[in-house]
Amino acid sequence: MNTGLIILILYTLSLLGIAYYASLQDKKNIKNFATADSSLGIFLLTLTFSATYHSSYAFLGAAGYAYKNGIGWWVNGIWTVFPGVLFWILGRRFWFLGKKYGYISLPQFLNDVYQDNRIGLLTTVITMVFTLPYVAMQAIGSGYIFDVMSDGKLSYELGAIIFLLIMIVLVWLGGMKGVAITDAAQGVFMWIGLVIGSYIVIKANFPSVGDAYTEAFKVIPDHFTLPGPYGAVTYTDWVSRWALVTLGMMMFPHVTLRFFAGRDLRVLKWSAVFSSIYLTTIYVFTPAVAFIGHIIFPNMANPDIIFPEMLLKLTPIVFASLVISGALAASMSTGDSQLHAVATMISTDVYKEI
Amino acid sequence: MRLSKGEKIVYALLILSLIMINPPILNLINNYAKQNPLTGNFPTLWLWLQIWYVVAMASFLIGAAKIKNWKKDYRR
């Protein structure tokens, strides 16, 4: 059995163990399942919000986009800094209404505002329709990671199926508390994997990050300004992308559910601040990794895999496997939260209403 | 609701950060970066964005610690 596969199995077993531990504290009611009875502290809420919001994109799509389109990728920073602010502005109001009227989902709030249950049902259907493809995206990312880490012993399709089964067990066992605890563990793993992993990849090839950029500039000068080598990052693209992601993410059911899960307003406030810092710092070395990828692996057919490819080729296999587990963490922490949100919506906003 | 002075400063800094990293300021910085792509061995445009992201995060952090209105709980 190869090292990657052993790490993968150990990682998955630890997650299931955490979810089982959370299930022992489960009070077996819908409010506990949906919002953990509003009991999450700063550490858990910060990491479950952050790890839920940023998915396999953090490991695969981000460096891939910068590899292809250059520094314009860092519009991404707007949608890591400012959602924290929106979390505080909107989240605290939802939290308060949840406390006062017992809401555990956005459709319940809309039902009351418009005095018509069909509005909530319509919102549920729309958000579910647009959440399910997002779950599928996490399965695709995980399928690939399973395939790479097991050295092809677990196919991409089997990896995606295993991912979905693990997600179902995590959500079924632990509800919001279980998902939040596993998200926190995965969030720590994700941060270490991305930041330390990226730094080691850079240091394996260049004396410093600055040297990496200087060398990259000789090869790909167009990557250092807008609109990038293919003209993709225009000013219109810039504004529309951050506006869509920053504001749109507030409509994700797996994000709004977390507004109701904080213990008090102090928890919500600091979770909002720390999530901004967490999400922005995880990408600190991403453009450097993407740019030196051009020097080491020019003309990659699929730039999305540049970071795992560099890890596997340039660092020891155990280290690479551990960091790529961080990529799996990114996929799983989003996937389980999405399935949990869909399960909550079906229970509270469809089944209960009908 | 009346905003305190501290709140006004924090919101102003957050809005200023957003203005500095978007067109038309972004166009000016991008044109400058075309002439000077690297500043201290780092991409000029990346540095500019990074500075304003740090300003936004720092003002949010200070606001969370200092603004009294943000410490108030809602009455149940």
ipTM, two decimals: 0.92
The helix or strand, by DSSP H or E, that contains position A205, with its residue range, turns out to be none
- DSSP per-residue codes, A39-86: -B-HHHHHHHHHHHHS-GGGTTHHHHHHHHHGGGGGGGGHHHHHHHHH
Q: How many CB pairs under 8 A join A and B?
A: 97
Task: Give every CB contact of residue A10 below 8 A, 6+ residues apart in sequence.
Answer: none
Q: What is the per-residue pLDDT across A290-342, written as a single tens digit (0 to 9) for each?
A: 999 999 998 888 898 889 888 888 888 888 888 887 777 778 888 888 888 88
For residue A117, which amino acid is it?
N
Pairing of strands B38-39, B42-43: antiparallel
| Whole-structure pTM value | 0.90
Interface of B with A in 19-58 (CB under 8 A): 21-23, 26-27, 30, 33-34, 37-38, 40-46, 49-50, 53, 56-57
Q: What is the per-residue pLDDT across A32-42, written as a single tens digit (0 to 9) for each?
A: 888 888 899 99
Cα separation, B52 vs A82, in Å, equals 12
Would you call A217 an interface residue with chain B, using a CB distance cutoff of 8 Å? Answer: yes
pLDDT band at A24 (very low <50, low <70, confident <90, very high): confident
The helix or strand, by DSSP H or E, that contains position B34, with its residue range, turns out to be helix B25-35
Q: What is the per-residue pLDDT across A49-102, written as a single tens digit (0 to 9) for each?
A: 998 888 778 888 899 999 999 999 999 999 999 999 999 989 999 999 998 998
Can you read off the two tokens belonging to residue A302?
A: 């699929």
pLDDT at A1 over 70: no
Q: Is A231 exposed, middle or buried (CB count within 10 Å of its CB: 0-12, 13-18, 19+)?
A: exposed
Contact yes or no for B37 and A99 at CB 8 A: no
Query: Measured on CA atoms in the order A74, A80, A85, A86, is the torsion positive or negative?
Result: positive
Residue A220, phi then psi, degrees to nearest 5: -130, 65
pLDDT band at A267 (very low <50, low <70, confident <90, very high): very high
Task: Give every CB contact of residue A307 below 8 A, 6+ residues apart in sequence.
Answer: A59, A60, A63, A197, A198, A201, A289, A290, A293, A327
Residue A16 CA: distances (Å) to CA of A165, A182, A275, A322: 11, 9, 25, 18
Closest chain B residue to A78 measured between Cα atoms?
Answer: B53
Contact yes or no for A85 and B60 at CB 8 A: yes
Residue B23, phi then psi, degrees to nearest 5: -60, 150
Cα separation, B66 vs B60, in Å, equals 10
Mean pLDDT of A187-215: 92
